[in-house]
């Protein structure tokens, strides 16, 4: 395979328009090899297959030269588009906050974004060092900014980076903003022609954020031992500071994973949900005889909890288990004299148990499409929201997004109270199951190399939906055009199928509800087998 003239011309145009000498040289080297090296030709074609699509999750992609990657040129044109979008909505000259994690390229990308905005006339504040994404989300609301940009790829593989955008509400953008911004990016000049200027002011909102975390309903007990990991991300220092501010002093960090490291050397995939990612954490929890284990993802907006089973073995709770555990606790702490009609929310793919808990507590309940951009817009009086993918918002009053630091601190408070009562989180989960039925959830995830396969499988399910799943008659509900989602439901069975918004996967979310755990597990096993066959 050789690169054709069209590809070479496109590469040459990109090189001429790239303001970064490092990525210019990188693409020049790929281009030079492309005529004689089939692998280089394929690499060149992939790098030029972009541009990266700007969606409600912003940008994510591999750090590399070319329009289909994360680099200074892409960030420069993206920010030029964001600046024009903000001006079009009457925000010229207003405040924008820029933060970053510690991934490859993050500092350069954050600098580029800040300088483009400064040159465009905005009042720009930046963080002096890498900080968790929730601190950026907090800063947008606390400072009254019209937008916030966080350079992060969250829990993506080490090769990736990303660009997450918050609007004036303090939440992530929703349609039609994404389409408006994408069109503005398309209209932006070449990156080399986009003006940049230094002068952004350094801001430090961490202390104010930590003060707010310490005001969460943590109870009066503080005797709890916690093992925690930051998975080589930026959460360790902030988590330790949050615990100290709140009065929790018995925290043990996984040393090999505490310092930020963009190569993530001890994990194959820096996501607490992935097999093996929390092995070091659970080993530490066992070694120090912890009461609770906590895993943050690399930008610390997600939080996973680990508990000791009654046989002494440690395991991580599923996202739905953590969600109902903390949701139930938050509802029990709401002051109904000041907030008589609280709202809790989760997504259409998460466990429906939170709805049963809300009903029993006399609270309102909402289900939204997946993503915290929708959850934080669930309605007035929101006190708690979660999604099964380890996203938890226990503090919508000051962070309108998922917040792993706040969730971890609240979980420590709950664990301390339970320990003082001679109980554990598993006891609470058992009690919830007794009251509301056993809700078991699982996920079937199909990774694809060709994204077209996802659409083909979705079309197949829509065209010939199964009549039975898990031994139960089911009916199909199609959520188009609002979302590319199908929902199959029957007596005590629910399956939601959708393409992932951030990964090359088709995901099926399974739930069964039964009166006894054994019956629920048996039905879930049968349901999983049927869904795997459906998506084969």
Provide the 3-class DSSP secondary structure of residue 80. Answer: helix
For 45, other C-beta atoms within 10 Å of its C-beta total 18
203 forms beta bridges with: 127
Question: Using CA atoms, how far apart are residues 465 and 486, in angstroms rounded to an integer?
Answer: 10
What are the tokens at 100?
Answer: 């970053």
Query: Which one is catalytic: 3, 154, 350, 351?
Result: 154
Nearest to 232 by CA among 301, 292, 296, 305: 296
Rounded-to-5 percentages of helix, strand, coil across the chain: 40, 20, 40
């600046």: which residue's tokens? 83
E strand segments, 4-120: 59-62, 95-100
DSSP string, 124-184: EEEESS---HHHHHHHHHHHT-SEEEEE--TTS-TTEEEEEEE-TTSSB--TTHHHHHHHH
Is 351 annotated in the active site?
no
Residues forming beta bridges with residue 99, ordered by sequence position: 150
Burial pattern 488-518, b for ≥16 Cβ within 10 A else e, equals bbbebbbbbbbbbebbebbbbbbbbbbeeee
Query: Using CA atoms, how far apart are residues 34 and 45, in angstroms rounded to an integer?
Result: 9
Q: How many residues does the chain have?
A: 536
Q: Compute the distance between CA of residue 230 and CA of residue 236 in angstroms, rounded to an integer.
A: 5
What residues are labeled active site?
154
């Amino acid at each position: 395979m050789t690169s054709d003239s069209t590809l070479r011309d496109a590469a040459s145009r990109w090189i001429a328009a790239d303001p970064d000498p490092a990525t210019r040289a990188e693409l020049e080297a790929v281009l030079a090899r492309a005529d004689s090296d089939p692998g280089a030709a394929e690499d060149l074609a992939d790098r030029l297959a972009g541009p990266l699509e700007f969606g409600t999750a912003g940008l994510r992609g591999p750090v590399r030269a070319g329009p289909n990657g994360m680099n200074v040129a892409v960030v420069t044109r993206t920010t030029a588009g964001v600046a024009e979008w903000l001006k079009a909505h009457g925000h010229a000259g207003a405040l924008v906050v820029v933060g970053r994690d510690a991934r490859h390229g993050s500092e350069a990308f954050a600098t580029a974004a800040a300088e483009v905005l400064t040159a465009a006339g905005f009042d720009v504040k930046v963080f002096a060092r890498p900080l968790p994404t929730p601190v950026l989300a907090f800063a947008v609301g606390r400072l009254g900014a019209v937008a916030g940009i966080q350079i992060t790829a969250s829990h993506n593989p080490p090769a990736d980076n990303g660009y997450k955008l918050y609007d004036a509400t303090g939440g992530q953008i929703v349609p039609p903003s994404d389409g408006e911004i994408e069109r503005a990016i398309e209209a932006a000049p070449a990156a080399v022609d986009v003006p940049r200027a230094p002068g952004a002011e350094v801001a430090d909102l961490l202390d104010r954020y930590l003060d707010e975390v310490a005001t969460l309903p943590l109870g009066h007990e503080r005797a709890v031992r916690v093992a925690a990991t930051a998975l080589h991300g930026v959460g360790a220092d902030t988590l330790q500071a949050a615990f100290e501010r709140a009065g929790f002093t018995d925290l043990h960090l996984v040393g090999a994973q505490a310092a930020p490291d963009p190569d993530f050397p001890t994990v194959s995939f820096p996501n607490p949900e992935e097999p093996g990612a929390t092995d070091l954490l659970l080993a530490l929890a066992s070694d120090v005889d912890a009461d609770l284990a906590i895993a943050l993802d690399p930008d610390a907006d997600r939080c996973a909890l680990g508990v000791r089973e009654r046989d002494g073995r440690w395991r991580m709770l599923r996202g739905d288990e953590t969600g109902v555990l903390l949701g139930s606790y938050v509802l029990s702490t709401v002051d109904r004299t000041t907030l008589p009609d609280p709202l809790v929310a989760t997504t259409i793919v998460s466990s429906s148990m939170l709805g049963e808990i809300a009903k029993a507590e006399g609270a309102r309940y909402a289900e939204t499409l997946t993503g915290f951009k929708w959850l934080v817009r669930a309605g007035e009086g929101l006190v708690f929201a979660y999604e099964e993918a380890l996203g938890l918002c226990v503090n919508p009053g000051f962070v309108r997004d998922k917040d792993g630091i706040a969730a971890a601190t609240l979980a420590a408070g709950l664990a301390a109270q339970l320990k003082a009562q001679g109980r554990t989180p598993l006891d609470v989960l058992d009690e919830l199951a007794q009251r509301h039925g056993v809700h078991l959830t699982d996920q079937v995830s199909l990774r694809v190399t060709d994204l077209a396969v996802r659409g083909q499988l979705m079309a197949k399910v829509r065209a010939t939906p199964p009549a039975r799943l898990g031994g139960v008659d089911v009916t199909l509900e199609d959520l188009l055009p609002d979302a590319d989602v199908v929902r199959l439901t029957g007596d005590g069975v629910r399956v939601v199928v959708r393409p992932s918004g951030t990964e090359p996967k088709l995901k099926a979310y399974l739930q069964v509800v039964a009166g006894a755990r054994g019956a629920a597990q048996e039905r879930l096993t049968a349901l999983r087998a049927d869904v795997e066959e459906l998506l084969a």
